[in-house]
Amino acid sequence: MNLELTDEQTLIIAMVRRFVREEILPLEINIDPDADSLEPEDQARLIGITKSMGLYGLDIPPEYGGPDIDLITRTLIAVEMAQHRAGLYAPCYGAFGGAGLAQLFEATDAQKEAYLYPTLRGEKRGFFGLSEPSGGSDPARAIETKAVRVGDDWIINGAKLWISGADRADFGLVFARTSQDKGRNGVTCFIVDTDTPGFHVRRIVHTLRSAHYATELQFEDMVVPHSNILGEVNKGFAIANDRLTRQRIPYAAGCIGVAIKAQEMALDYVPQRETFGAPLASRQAIQWMLVDNDIDIKQSLWITLEAASKASQGLPYRKEAAMAKLVATEAGGRVVDRCMQMFGGLGVAKDLPFERWYREMRIRRIGEGPSEVQRHVIARELLGASLR
């Protein structure tokens, strides 16, 4: 794996780094420490800048109007985009856009017209509805939401939990059981409009006093036309599994970006802060914290870039993506914790971003599949059929 950066990659990363430091960080001085959005005029101005940079819609394929940027470069950009207070859950406050639900690129032409293109234009928002109250870590078997066909429609009843953004969405991908098979060969993906009768956002689920929150959904005799099936009947789990694997790379990259920024802040601080007549940087305990941070960051980055490299070459990367998510979320939490310790009382104050990073990094060890599930995925890839 050759990860020596090209001149173009170096230039792009430098552009994003400058954007974060000159445009994002100054804005965060005057907004709520837990904010995850900006004023509309600031948002529009930032989007204008990223469009002029040629970097808006990073995850949109070029045939749909996105920039032609390879996955390794996009991963490195994601690392840079996370290096600010809201960087974990609102990297650059959406200034670089996104592909929305990437699964819609495989939709029918009619579905693209109704959902994909409006999403790319920023006219619609979507959500991904997989996890349920019965359990989110084993979705293939935990899905109890049922869809029954009646003529040209399907009637859906059930519930979803831990769904991000459904309260602000216009539509969502809802996975329901269409066969009594209790494994993965009985789940179908439906595109559901949130104004459909029977669709209910039951409650907002707040987490760890964080800007991140989830929703609980209820479906009561919700009628969805057969034409709104994404993919094929009983083939929905492949769509879900692809998304879960793909998402682990940028998920890990965000944790690495925050860890890099925390370490940078610590390296600036400890030579200046004196205790008992000597700078903190002279204390072996502090030096070792910084060393351990550097090791955690480099391990996470290399594993994540290996996953991105394999994915970009079309090679199997499930194991590497799981490793990236596992290592980066756990290591990122350790780095932030050590940096808080080095800053002492200031480390837990809202004056600095550490306390927000600490809360949100803890969530990252659970979101997109907890650490234990990632270890199971890795073990299954290592042991093969004996663990399936």
d(CA 230, CA 52): 34
d(CA 80, CA 378): 27
pTM for the model stands at: 0.93
Instruction: Give the pair of three-digit tokens for residue 251.
Output: 């998920």
Strands (E), 276-359: 278-279
Measured from the Cβ of residue 202, the count of other Cβ atoms closer than 10 Å reads 12
d(CA 77, CA 11): 11
pLDDT > 70: what percent of the chain?
95
d(CA 360, CA 379): 27
Task: Note whether 265 and 337 are within 8 A (CB).
Answer: no
Antiparallel, parallel or unpaired: β 187-193 and 274-275 = unpaired
d(CA 26, CA 377): 41
Task: Note whether 276 and 104 are within 8 A (CB).
Answer: no
Is residue 388 over pLDDT 60? Answer: no
* pLDDT at position 244: 84
Residue 142 pLDDT class (50, 70, 90 cuts): confident
Contacting residues for 24 by C-beta, under 8 A, at least 6 apart = 46, 84, 92, 93, 95
* pLDDT at position 208: 82
* pLDDT at position 1: 66
Residue 240 pLDDT class (50, 70, 90 cuts): confident
Is residue 262 over pLDDT 70? Answer: yes
d(CA 170, CA 164): 13
d(CA 156, CA 147): 4
* pLDDT at position 137: 61
Between the CA of residue 226 and those of 12, 148, 150, what are the distances in Å? 44, 11, 9
Residues known to be catalytic? 368
Is residue 271 over pLDDT 80? Answer: yes
Is residue 183 over pLDDT 90? Answer: no
Task: Write down all domains in the chain, each with its CATH number in brackets.
Answer: 7-104 (1.10.540.10), 126-230 (2.40.110.10), 239-387 (1.20.140.10)
Is residue 387 over pLDDT 90? Answer: no
Task: Note whether 59 and 98 are within 8 A (CB).
Answer: yes
In the beta sheet, which residues pair with residue 329?
Answer: none
Give the up-direction half-sphere exposure of residue 351: CA atoms within 13 A in the CB hemisphere: 8
Which of 17-21, 134-138, 370-374 comes out lowest in average pLDDT? 134-138
Tens-place pLDDT, residues 40-97: 999 999 999 999 999 999 989 999 989 999 999 999 999 999 999 999 999 999 999 8
Which of 92-96, 236-240, 383-387 comes out lowest in average pLDDT? 383-387
Between the CA of residue 30 and those of 25, 39, 298, 349, 351, what are the distances in Å? 10, 12, 33, 16, 11
Give the up-direction half-sphere exposure of residue 127: CA atoms within 13 A in the CB hemisphere: 24
* pLDDT at position 138: 65
The residue with greater pLDDT, 246 or 77, is: 77
* pLDDT at position 386: 58
Task: Note whether 35 and 211 are within 8 A (CB).
Answer: yes
The residue with greater pLDDT, 5 or 201, is: 201
Tens-place pLDDT, residues 335-355: 999 999 999 999 999 999 999
Give the up-direction half-sphere exposure of residue 101: CA atoms within 13 A in the CB hemisphere: 32
* pLDDT at position 31: 95
Task: Note whether 163 and 129 are within 8 A (CB).
Answer: yes
DSSP string, 52-100: HTT-SSTTS-GGGT-----HHHHHHHHHHHT-STTTTTSGGGGTT---S
